[in-house]
Amino acid sequence: MTGPRPQVVPEPGLPAQVTVYEVGPRDGLQNEAATVPTAVKAEFVRRLLAAGLGVVEVTSFVRPDRVPQLADAAELLAALRPLGPARLPVLVPNERGLDRALAAGVTEVAVFASVTETFARRNLGRSVAQSLAGFAPVVERAGDAGLRVRGYASMCFGDPWEGEVALDAVVEVGERLLAMGCAELSLGDTIGVATPGHVRALLGAFAAAGIAADRLAVHFHDTYGQALANTLEALRSGVTTVDAAAGGLGGCPFARSATGNLATEDLVWMLDGLGVHTGVDLGALVATSAWLSRVLGRPSPSRVVRALTAGADPRSP
């Protein structure tokens, strides 16, 4: 797919390269009401990899009754096995999930913690302290098996039940996840309420605690249209890994005010214009999201996808 491209005008001080951590197949599809066939999910992942995404989080080994959309995790990974050494991390909620992931032959896993008590109990059925204690053996066993482990911290910028979240509470949970062996910590704006000043303050709090930006990633939802602005602020603070979902898919089944993730296409458009290397072919990525939109039967929330596919033949494969 061809079309306009942004003029490249670099901003001094930004990273030369950014890792786009694609979460569309897992975080993007988990909230879909209608079941997406395993074959479609596998094709989605294949197209994302072909578009140059270096990391694609594909699924979660959560209980099927909790997130029915991801009940086919083992089948999906089996279908993707011929892809070889691609980075295809999966989310694991507990040791049982880790057992299933190990049996499926994964090389990277992630655990998902909450900063706030209310969301921890609603999403994980445990307190913050209990959930962190439960993750410790998961991270240890995964590390012993040679797996890379990522830690997610959710509700870092605000909670729909508790309101404002203290910076030191986020840093405390983040420190615990990193100390138990997580190689990277993704800071989640689960309901999309963050603003650039808040992002700068939180990253500054981590820096003051001795945690370098190269151990952090950011995960913004675009509920209030702030995701790109927040991402740019994170890049200015030294972060080099950004989570995004192709087509702006997503939400959280356990937090109704959480809407779509930052669209990967919108992120890549901005980074291309800033001269920041991602390795992603924007045209191929847009074509992938346009294809998935047709499969799901609704237009993509991504502004870049909409702009670059305006007037396209809806029957295109």
Measured distance CA(48)–CA(27) in Å, rounded: 15
Residue 68: is it exposed, middle or buried by C-beta count within 10 angstroms (0-12/13-18/19+)? Answer: middle
Backbone angles phi, psi at 255, to 5 degrees: -145, 100
Phi-psi region of 151 (alpha: psi -120 to 50; beta: other; left: phi over 0): beta
The candidate with the shortest Cα–Cα distance to 77, out of 54, 53, 103, is 103
Does an H or E element contain 22, and which?
A: strand 19-22
Measured distance CA(158)–CA(190) in Å, rounded: 8
Three-class secondary structure of residue 55 per DSSP:
strand
Q: Of these residues, 138, 252, 258, 270, which one is catalytic?
A: 252
- DSSP per residue, 237-296: TT--EEEEBGGG---BTTBTT--PBPBHHHHHHHHHHHT-B----HHHHHHHHHHHHHHH
Which two tokens mark 91? 């989310």
The candidate with the shortest Cα–Cα distance to 204, out of 194, 193, 191, 213, is 213
Active site residue 252: yes
Measured distance CA(60)–CA(55) in Å, rounded: 15
Which two tokens mark 4? 């306009």
Measured distance CA(153)–CA(158) in Å, rounded: 12
Report the catalytic residues.
252
